[in-house]
Amino acid sequence: MKFTPPDLRHRPLSIVHQEPSFVVVDKMPDLLSVPGRAPNMDDCVVNRVRDLFSHAEGSLAAHRLDMETSGLMVLGLTPDAHRNLSRQFEQRQVAKTYEALVEGHVTGDSGHIELAFRVDLNDRPRQILDPVHGKLGVTNWLVLDRNGASDRDETRVRFTPLTGRTHQLRVHAAHPQGLGHPIVGDRLYGNPALADRLMLHSTKLAFHHPVDDHWLEFDLPAPF
């Protein structure tokens, strides 16, 4: 499924916290985390951070958010900081929390999902369940509210991923063996007509400072 990202160059990147060694940003929906392969896909968080911080060098991105996902993202501005942050993500030392609106009425109050999946080679970037060749994704979930201010039948859910697979929360939310309720506005796994964006936001990010190792926590409420 081909998708051309919208032109977001008129919208500035929001800085949540900055230090000489790293920066935490609020990634807007539909902005790439890193450059895409096509010539028209160079507008991304990494390139915007390079433009904002003249001393930034190296790969910068210690992790990625899906293009459609918004919220907290941390980037190392020096090679040492990038290596440190990347290692924390690889060793699962980083605490991440997401908030989403999902389609329908979730009957349970909380749960734990373990599903293995991989990319669909015939329909990239869609992911499909594959318990044999797929990589295991692990997610905890908690219902925060049902319906809320919306006139649609939907549920507000907090997701805590314990692994970091591509599209993990989207697959775990939508698949019948997972939550069984697609995230509102998901063009790959749900009904994109329900919203003008994917209702998934990175609300909390906590990690060790890449220089002095003290624990840092950042919170950013969902805009929906």
In a domain, 165, yes or no: yes
Q: What is the pLDDT of residues 108-151, one digit of tens each?
A: 999 999 999 999 999 999 999 999 999 999 999 999 999 755 56
- Identify the CA nearest to 89 among candidates 164, 2, 196: 164
Q: Note whether residue 173 is domain-resident.
A: yes
Q: Which of 42, 66, 80, 109 is catalytic?
A: 66
* Separation CA 9–CA 29 (nearest Å): 13
Q: Is 214 inside a domain boundary? A: no
Catalytic residue status for 66: yes
Query: Residue 170 to residues 52, 98, 134, 215, 221: CA-CA distances in angstroms?
Result: 31, 11, 16, 29, 19
d(CA 202, CA 161): 11
Query: Is 12 a member of any domain?
Result: no
Is 41 within the bounds of a domain? Answer: no
Give the span between the Cα atoms of 179 and 157, in whole angstroms: 10
Sign of CA dihedral 199, 63, 188, 182: negative
How far apart CA 173 and CA 214 sit, in angstroms, is: 33
Token digits of residue 128? 């499909």
Q: Does residue 132 form part of some domain? A: yes
Reported as a single tens digit per residue, the pLDDT across 65-97 is 999 999 999 999 999 999 999 999 999 999 999
Give phi and psi for 132, each to the nearest 5. Answer: -95, -55
Q: CATH number of the domain that 121 lies in?
A: 3.30.2350.10
| Predicted structure pTM score | 0.93
**How many domains does one find in the chain?**
1
Residue range 156-186, pLDDT digits in tens = 999 999 999 999 999 999 999 999 999 999 9
Range of the domain at 187: 98-200
Domain for residue 118, yes or no?
yes
